[in-house]
Structure 1
């Protein structure tokens, strides 16, 4: 049950992401008696893999995956993977960070200009 729980908590779709209360309710909604051997089994793949690269669904029974696939995080888009690849390099990370700062500043400037136009329209109507 960790695969659907973790994917529900870290999905990139923020609207579908579990809140803490929803995650707790998800865990409490089922009480599965697992074999002690299953409880002591450790994931071997995850030990040397980042959380966002580890396939939590690998090796799970097909019927389980089919039953809980609604909670499965969709694969990242091409643009997301490209951005991740760019940010692996120092120059790419600095460039993306700077572009985000510029976009934030331009967005703030455009909102100010929009507010000025709203004020001008109010005065012109009077």
Structure 2
């Protein structure tokens, strides 16, 4: 432990809110792109779509250092995927209803939950943030 007791300064509230909104918009983009790619190039497209989602969720965690950094892009991802899977009154839809779509929906959700429940990132200066030290 360094003993200095100085914590790094947190970014202003407006910057954090902007980051979470940006992550949510990235989640919408990754969800929409993944919905199209996973069906177009079935086996590898599905893997690529899930890897993109995992990278976004974990990147949000690393960039913000909080679970909200995972929840924001995951909410955007879920919104895009659910809107694209709903279909239209004419019967058109992005998802055809096969195994790949189910794996994409459940896999992306599992990846978001896994990233959101990861342990907190270590704090600079060697402090783990535990109260019982």
TM-score, with structure 2 as normaliser: 0.25
TM-score, with structure 1 as normaliser: 0.26
From the CA coordinates, give the structure whose radius of gyration is larger: 1
